Amino acid sequence: MSERTGTKATTPTTPAAPADPADPADPADLAGRAERLDAADELAAVRDRFVLDDVVYLDGNSLGALPAGVAPRLRDVVAREWGELRIRSWEESGWWTAPERVGDRIAPLLGAAPGQVVVGDSTSVNVFKAVVAAVRMAVGPRDEVLVDAASFPTDGYVAESAARMTGCRIRPVPAAEMAAAAGKRTAAALVNHVDYRTGRLHDLPGITAAVHAAGGLVVWDLCHSAGALPVGLDEHGVDLAVGCTYKYLNGGPGAPAYLYVRRALQPHFDSPLPGWNSHRHPFAMEAGYRAAEGSARGRVGTPEILSLLALDSALDVWGGVDIEAVRAKSLALTDFFLECVAALVPAGAVEPVTPLAHADRGSQIALRRADADRVMRALIDRGVVGDYRPPDLLRFGFTPLYTRFADALRAARTLGSVLEGSG
């Protein structure tokens, strides 16, 4: 059993040495290497748990591929649980407890013990709940909320509103400077674990410890890390965390997000959205609010049952998978892709902006190119799907559960073909 995931562990794929774009691999050997790496991949069989085709899909960092079990599960939910059992399904089919039950299925992927993750609402709503609650729980006269200066825009918008609501000022700080920036005025810090543009992995243990030393609380956005690499929420004493489930967790478009509240903080978690679902006795319909115990305190309104149960089914793909093996393959895939780009793309045509150091890299590679939007459209037309972020970034997300080394090679070869002779 894997301590981190609670599932049978697989043998991790051994990552290659970090690629050096200045020292390209031999193009003639790349196909053979991809074949050997795929043959040795301990996660190769997991690909069969997804609905895939001949397209090279490298956009799982925006929307994960469809797990094969989701469609039949949803047909049963709609036809039988909703169509036949109707209202009885809240109890007989376990609808009412699904937010906590599915949260406990996600928890091992976050390095969290059961009873600390609840699923529901969007990431933005959970950011709002977490930041406001963090400020309310901070000890002493603190009036500052630090926010990752390169944060996904919504996080910044929500944090600014939460700061105004709680009488705080917002202070944008580069994530690399967050630890040094925390001080006696810091009530809370909101940080992205992985930068959505560049794929840079930030120092969760170090930043958390530094903010705690300054007396503040930390909220981590795990949208671009959960399901792609170990997080270690309990191990590193994280206070609160949020994340979406439609990227590396493959929950589907609009799948509900999750909220982690460290067990020791749950009795003090004062949600700014005290909905009837988080009431201690929701069906008593009391006029006054009394918060539920445990992770249910993070609920607000009626759960999004159809999308929540689609996510529940999607999580089946993690059976027997160790997140450490996922991380090892992620690093090996991204290393290999960088080598292929260096060997097959015209020199100087793209600039890698994702860190080469494994300790600083998430599970995506970002390449800078002035006409990145045109290039990505051309790649998609040729069966390689990544995405583009203005003004000049090509993003390629590597989902180890279904991405092959042959896919990395084909993507780089197609990119080289698109850029050949384009200047």
Separation between Cα atoms, residue 158 and residue 144, nearest integer Å? 15
For the chain, the residue count is: 423
395 is catalytic: yes
Could you tell me the two tokens for 204? Answer: 């969760």
Distance CA 423, CA 350 (A): 10
> Which CA distances in Å does 267 have to 271, 280, 293, 295, 296?
11, 12, 7, 10, 11
Yes or no: say if 418 and 386 are a contact pair by the CB < 8 Å rule: no
Selected catalytic residue, list 152, 260, 337, 396? 152
Active site residue 402: no
Element at 397 (helix H, strand E): strand 393-397
User: Catalytic pick from 4, 185, 395, 404?
Assistant: 395
49 a catalytic residue? no
Q: Is 154 helix (H, G, I), strand (E, B) or coil?
A: helix
Annotated active-site residue 152? The verdict is: yes
Catalytic residue status for 337: no
How far is residue 164's CA from residue 269's CA, in Å, rounded to a whole number? 19
Short-list 186, 184, 218, CA closest to 202? 218
Cis check for the bond before 390: say yes or no (omega within 30 of 0): no
Catalytic residue among 50, 196, 246, 248: 246
Of these residues, 41, 148, 155, 221, which one is catalytic?
A: 221
List the catalytic residue out of 185, 247, 299, 404. Answer: 247
Compute how many other C-beta atoms are within 10 angstroms of the C-beta atom of residue 79: 10
Calculate helix-pair angle for 123-137, 153-165, nearest 10 degrees.
40
Tokens of 64: 């994960």
* Measured distance CA(128)–CA(249) in Å, rounded: 22
Active-site positions read 152, 221, 246-247, 395
